[in-house]
Amino acid sequence: MHLPKITIVGAGQVGSTAAHLMAKKELGNLVLLDIDVGMAQGKALDIAEAGPVEGFDVDVSGTDDYADIAGSEVVVITAGSPRQPGMERTELLRRNVRVVAAASREIARHAPEAYIVLVTNPLDAMVCAAQEVTGFPAHRVMGMAGVLDSARMRRFIAQELGVSGKDVTAMVLGGHGDRMVPVTGSSTVGGIPLTELLPRERLDAIVERTRHGGGEVVELLKTGSAYYAPGASIVDMVESIVRDQRRIRPVAAYLKGEYGIEDLYIGVPAIIGAGGVERVVEIGLTDSERLQFDASVDTVREMIDEARDALDAGS
Ligand code: APR
């Protein structure tokens, strides 16, 4: 069986969790790349050794050499620092944009045909940096955030109603951060609109918790940030690409006039398949959601400017 090659740059908590799940699904042969080569090799070996027990047969290798990513169909970037409690957004951005830009240069050189899925935060600015540095067509560079944010929302809705999260759909738009826009009007439970099942104040509480879902985990962990749900969300997107599933997912995609927005990466629903972001899907927003989306657009634009400044200052 031909298996695609999938590279994960950053073999830390998120990267290695995603790698293990991809191996279990036999999505592809995996390369874990990290500046800490021993860690990448050790985790790769450990995952490969789970294969006989879990019943998967894929190659998993670790490296610090970008030459080893040649031929990758998909490259996931998780490299960078996770958010620490109390860390300023600007500090995280300055640190991580340099890491993402360096990785992007190498990807452009060694895997010029790859699709890139960005995970490093602050997400929307990192996706934009990766696209600008690689010069790849925008549909080949996307960011994973909405799948995670909507998974959190689905979980909170399921808990509130005492039903299976599998039956809950949710859509979260906008930038990845506390300005994200959970769209309750697009959420359903077993096909029933969520707005018919929960009163407004319970919906508002769920929306608020979703907005701070990442922070809630950071506060509890004290060091590092979430990785199980982020790992699973990465796998969901990569699977849709390598198996051409054409799932509709909220994804940080490049807008060329959709939602009335030009030239910006931000979270919107899109069809994800073998062609990457194949089509952005426009959904109706209430007046209040539209205002929130516009505020989120402003925040993302500011972050992108900060990221460009940080890169110019470093070059
Ligand atoms: N090249 C390759 N790998 C790097 C580089 C680099 N220039 N800089 C850092 N790394 C690696 C680190 O060595 C580490 O193994 O990135 C990895 C990051 O892993 P963790 O510190 O465990 O962070 P993690 O929890 O996985 O989060 C990674 O995902 O969800 C986001 O906000 C999160 O931006 C963060 C990213």
Q: Is 225 in the pocket of ligand 1 (CB under 6 A)?
A: yes
Give the per-residue pLDDT at 87.
73
- Catalytically annotated residue among 110, 139, 176, 212: 176
DSSP for 233-287 reads: HHHHHHHHHHTT--EEEEEEEEEESGGG-EEEEEEEEEEEETTEEEEEPP----H
Judge if 221 and 108 occupy the same domain.
no
Give the per-residue pLDDT at 2: 82
Least confident range of 11-15, 142-146, 185-189: 185-189
Asked if 184 and 302 sit in the same domain, the reply is yes
- Is there a domain that residue 313 lies in? no
Cα gap 28→4, rounded to integer Å: 5
Residue 176 bears catalytic tag? yes
Q: Which atom of ligand 1 is nearest to the CA of 36?
A: 13
The mean pLDDT value of the chain amounts to 95
How far is it, in rounded angstroms, from Cα 200 to Cα 192? 16
Q: Reply yes or no on whether the pLDDT at 84 is more than 80.
A: no
* Rounded mean pLDDT, 259-275: 96
Q: Which of 9, 17, 34 to mutate to test the pocket of ligand 1 (most atoms within 8 A of CB)?
A: 34
| Domain-ending residue, one of 113, 143, 173 | 143
Residue 307 confidence (pLDDT) above 80: yes
The number of the ligand 1 atom at minimal distance from the alpha carbon of 39 is 15
Asked if residue 161 has its Cβ within 6 Å of ligand 1, the reply is: no
Q: Do residues 46 and 104 share a domain?
A: yes
pLDDT at 11: 98
Question: In this structure, is residue 57 part of a structural domain?
Answer: yes
> What digits encode the pLDDT tens for the residues 139-186?
999 999 999 999 999 999 999 999 999 999 999 999 988 889 999 888
Rounded mean pLDDT, 198-211: 94
**Would you state the torsion angle of the CA atoms of residues 143, 22, 147, 11, taken in this order, to the nearest 10 degrees?**
-50
Residues 169 and 271 in one domain: yes
Residues 288, 218 share a domain: yes
| Domain assignment of residue 132, yes or no | yes
Reported as a single tens digit per residue, the pLDDT across 206-243 is 999 999 999 999 999 988 889 999 999 999 999 999 99
Task: Answer yes or no: is the C-beta of 10 below 6 A from any ligand 1 atom.
Answer: yes
Q: Give domain status of residue 186, yes or no.
A: yes
Q: Is the CB of 11 under 6 A from ligand 1?
A: yes
**What domain count does the chain have?**
2
Q: Which domain holds residue 177?
A: 146-306
Domain boundary among 74, 108, 143: 143
Assess whether the C-beta atom of 170 lies below 6 angstroms from ligand 1. no
Residue closest via CA to ligand 1's atom 9 equals 80
82 lines ligand 1 (CB under 6 A): yes
pLDDT exceeds cutoff 70 at 59: yes
Q: Identify any residues that bridge with 188 across adjacent strands, giving them in sequence order.
A: 169, 193
pLDDT bracket for residue 269 (50, 70, 90):
very high
- pLDDT of the residue at 315: 60
Is 315 contained in some domain? no
Residue 118 lies in a domain: yes
Considering the domain architecture, whether residues 101 and 237 belong to the same structural domain is answered as no
| Average pLDDT of the residues in 271-298 | 95
Q: Whose CA is nearest to atom 34 of ligand 1?
A: 120
Instruction: Output the pTM of the full model.
Output: 0.97
Pick 87 or 206 by higher pLDDT. Answer: 206
pLDDT in tens, 115-138: 999 999 999 999 999 999 999 999
**What pLDDT is stored for residue 223 in this prediction?**
87
List the CATH number of the domain containing 78. Answer: 3.40.50.720
Residues 164 and 296 occupy one common structural domain: yes
Structural tokens at position 219: 């506060």
Centre of ligand 1 to C-alpha 39, Å, is 12
Residue 214 is part of a domain; what is its CATH number?
A: 3.90.110.10
Boundary residue ending a domain (143, 178, 196) = 143
For residue 142, the model assigns a pLDDT of 98
